[in-house]
């Protein structure tokens, strides 16, 4: 059962700015890629992106997201119309409330008495509030659970930088430690909902008489700057480094999961082995002069008819829940692109609060409470299980360089 540990393993003496791993539990402070001893975490920190909850929130929220980049409000308004289309309300906060409740229910079902605190990077409730609330209740050994499954600056390191920033700005760095669960892109609990969705979409097309060769599956994820993608994952010179090809760990992780999904679908529906697929990107926001990962989902959809494709299943592989990039970029723009191309389109579900996914997240918590050996941890691809303690220099922000970050070895 989770939570058994020794006094030495709960010490916060190693937390601080001179440690190899900032603000870490004693077990994680050594910098080993995987923590294989039990740690008595006394709370979970659910870390979200955040989103506006009314029209008046939209521009202040976007200022938070783009802080430090000097983007004027008139340019922010170009993005704001996505939110304004939905009444200025992003669904992401409601989804995180539901996820928090689902995590608490699953923890209670397993008899794990550990509270869940929720805080966001860009909108209320903020991470500062969550960490201060936890500390006020005597919970100082926190295990971070970021609502992002893959390796990159924006999906991993930026959360870790925010953990370090919050502990520094609140003055809690000498009291509170924050470790982080591993990136869970290939944990079976995260992967299974995508398998279910892709299978159901393909089966529906085939039952309607569409030939397998006329079906295409597009696995969609958020585009990021190419330079950031190349820096995702362990860097060259690190013992953990592997040549993952163009797009670094970020692209490689998505491709590996997509292969698992299609293999699982083909195992259930043999003719699905003849269905083609590819990884596509969406939600690009950088200037035209800056290279971002491609191809764009809408460009690919526009070209499908010329390849003899009559139906497309869009699998939002990069996303945990139906937040704005899913509702606007896929459910609105990609569906319009499919209609213009004259082909059928289905967008499959995100994991959301699927019981299999929620159980998988609690499995990730338990493996850290119990100190589960890396070789015994479930993972659906050959890339996993990913690291508990991020490697030095992974996921650098090419524009800003390295800032102090918790839950990883300092570069």
pLDDT digits (tens, 9 = 90+) for 295-345: 999 999 999 999 999 999 999 999 999 999 999 999 999 999 999 999 999
Q: How far apart are CA 29 and CA 84, in angstroms?
A: 44
Q: What is the pLDDT of residue 235?
A: 86
Confidence of residue 70 (pLDDT cuts 50, 70, 90): confident
Tell me the average pLDDT across 226-235.
94
DSSP, res 406: B
Longest dimension (CA), the chain: 65
pLDDT digits (tens, 9 = 90+) for 1-50: 343 333 233 333 333 334 489 999 999 999 999 999 999 999 999 999 99
pLDDT digits (tens, 9 = 90+) for 250-301: 999 999 999 999 999 999 999 999 999 999 999 998 788 999 999 999 999 9
Confidence of residue 115 (pLDDT cuts 50, 70, 90): very high
Is domain 188-347 given the CATH code 3.40.50.300 in the classification?
no
67-81, 116-130, 346-360, range with the lowest pLDDT:
67-81
The helix/strand/coil state of 323 is: coil
Percent helix, strand, coil in the chain, to 5, is 40, 15, 45
Taking 60 as the threshold, does the pLDDT of residue 113 lie above it? yes
Residues 6 or more apart whose Cβ sits within 8 Å of residue 281: 220, 221, 222, 223, 292, 293, 294, 295, 296, 297
What residues does 401 pair with on adjacent strands?
397
Mean per-residue pLDDT of the chain: 93
Q: What is the pLDDT of residue 362?
A: 98
Residues 6 or more apart whose Cβ sits within 8 Å of residue 310: 210, 211, 214, 215, 343, 344
Contact 312, 216 (CB under 8 A): yes
Q: How far apart are CA 71 and CA 35, in angstroms?
A: 41
Residue 286 φ then ψ, to 5°: -85, 170
Taking 90 as the threshold, does the pLDDT of residue 223 lie above it? yes
Q: How far apart are CA 253 and CA 186, in angstroms?
A: 8
Taking 90 as the threshold, does the pLDDT of residue 54 lie above it? yes
Residue span(s) of the chain under CATH 3.40.50.1400 come to 7-184+354-376, 188-347
Reference 134, options 148, 147, 144; nearest CA is 144
Tell me the average pLDDT across 381-409.
94
CATH number of the 7-184+354-376 domain: 3.40.50.1400
Q: What is the pLDDT of residue 149?
A: 98
The helix/strand/coil state of 68 is: coil
Tell me the average pLDDT across 185-213.
98
Report DSSP letters for 257-302, one per residue. HHHHHHHHHHHHSGGGGG-EEEEEEE---S-TTS-B---BHHHHHH
Q: What is the pLDDT of residue 286?
A: 79
Could you give the strand order of the β-sheet that contains 177-180, starting from the edge strand earlier in sequence? 116-120, 43-48, 141-146, 177-180
Q: Structure pTM?
A: 0.94
Q: Within 13 Å, how many C-alpha atoms sit on residue 34's CB side?
A: 16
Q: What is the pLDDT of residue 132?
A: 98
Contact 182, 245 (CB under 8 A): no
């Amino acid at each position: 059962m989770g939570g058994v540990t020794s006094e030495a393993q709960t010490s916060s003496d190693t937390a601080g700015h001179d440690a190899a791993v900032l603000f870490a539990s004693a077990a994680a402070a050594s910098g080993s890629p995987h923590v294989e001893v039990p740690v008595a975490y006394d709370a979970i920190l659910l870390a979200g992106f955040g989103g506006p909850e009314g029209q008046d929130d939209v521009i202040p929220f976007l200022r938070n997201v783009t802080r430090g980049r000097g983007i004027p409000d008139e340019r922010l308004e170009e993005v704001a119309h996505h939110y304004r289309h939905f009444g200025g309300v992003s669904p992401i906060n409601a989804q995180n409330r539901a996820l928090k409740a689902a995590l608490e229910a699953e923890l209670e079902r397993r008899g794990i008495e550990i509270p869940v605190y929720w805080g966001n990077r860009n909108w209320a409730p903020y991470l500062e509030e969550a960490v201060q609330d936890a500390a006020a209740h005597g919970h100082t050994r926190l295990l971070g659970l970021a609502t992002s499954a893959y390796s990159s600056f924006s999906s991993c390191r930026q959360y870790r930088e925010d953990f370090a920033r919050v502990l520094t700005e609140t003055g809690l760095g000498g009291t509170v430690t924050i470790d982080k669960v591993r990136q869970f892109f290939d944990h079976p609990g995260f992967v299974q909902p995508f398998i279910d969705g892709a299978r159901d979409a393909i089966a529906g097309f085939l039952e309607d008489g569409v030939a397998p060769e006329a079906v295409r599956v597009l696995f969609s994820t958020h585009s990021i700057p190419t330079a950031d993608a190349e820096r995702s994952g362990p860097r060259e010179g690190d013992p953990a480094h592997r040549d993952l090809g163009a797009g670094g760990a970020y692209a490689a992780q998505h491709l590996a999961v997509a292969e698992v999904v299609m293999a699982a679908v083909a195992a259930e529906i043999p003719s699905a082995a003849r269905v083609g697929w590819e990884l596509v990107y969406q939600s690009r926001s950088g200037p035209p002069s800056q290279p971002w990962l491609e191809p764009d989902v809408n460009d690919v959809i526009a070209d499908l008819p010329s390849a003899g494709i009559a139906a497309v299943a869009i699998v939002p592989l990069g996303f945990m829940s139906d937040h704005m990039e899913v509702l606007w970029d896929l459910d609105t723009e990609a569906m319009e692109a499919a209609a213009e191309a004259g082909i059928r389109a289905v967008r499959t579900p995100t994991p959301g609060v699927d019981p299999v996914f929620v159980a998988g997240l609690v499995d990730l918590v338990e493996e850290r409470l119990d100190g589960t050996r890396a070789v015994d941890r479930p993972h659906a691809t050959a890339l996993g299980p990913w690291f508990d303690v991020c490697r030095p220099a992974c996921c650098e922000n090419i524009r800003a360089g390295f800032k102090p970050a918790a839950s990883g070895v300092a570069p």
